[in-house]
Amino acid sequence: MNIGLAANETGVSAKMIRHYEAIGLLRPAARRANSYRDYGERDVHDLRFIRRARKLGFSIEEIGDLLALWRDETRPSSEVRRIAMTHVEDLEQRVAEAQAMIATLRALVNACPGDATPNCPILQELGGTRLK
């Protein structure tokens, strides 16, 4: 199938398909006599795999590792689990950091009078002039 059909079948844009090929995440597609890319069943599966992994927030490097493990029928599941657990821990850390940002911003918003006066703790904090 051509790149447009592969994009429709997988939910991955043609631009991203070309990008994944360029960075080596997806093997280069075979070429037809007219030089158009020709994608097969394995390519479609890989693109769906990549799309699902990206939705879960895995990095390109992690996806490459997971794809390699998926293709290796003698893979140790412990390696797959390690990659996923490392990703879970990273996500948990980012969630904690986001929650801390929300708490700080909420406190600043609550401290801001929101009236016609120029006094604004939000701008003072961002400017580094807020008294602690």
- What's the whole-number average pLDDT of the chain? 93
Distance, first Cα to last Cα, the chain: 63
What are the beta bridge partners of residue 37?
A: 31
pLDDT value at 8 more than 80: yes
The set of residues, in sequence order, having a beta carbon less than 8 Å from that of 96 and lying 6+ positions away, is: none
- pTM of this structure: 0.80
Same domain, 45 and 83: no
In which domain, by residue range, is 101 found?
Answer: 76-132
pLDDT digit string, tens, across residues 19-48? 999 999 999 888 888 888 899 999 999 999
Same domain, 88 and 131: yes
Helix (H) / strand (E) element for 37: namely: strand 37-38
- Taking alpha carbons only, the member of 35, 3, 9 closest to residue 21 is 3
Q: Let me know if residue 39 belongs to a domain.
A: yes
Same domain, 128 and 84: yes
Q: What is the pLDDT of residue 13?
A: 96
Give the chain's domain count: 2
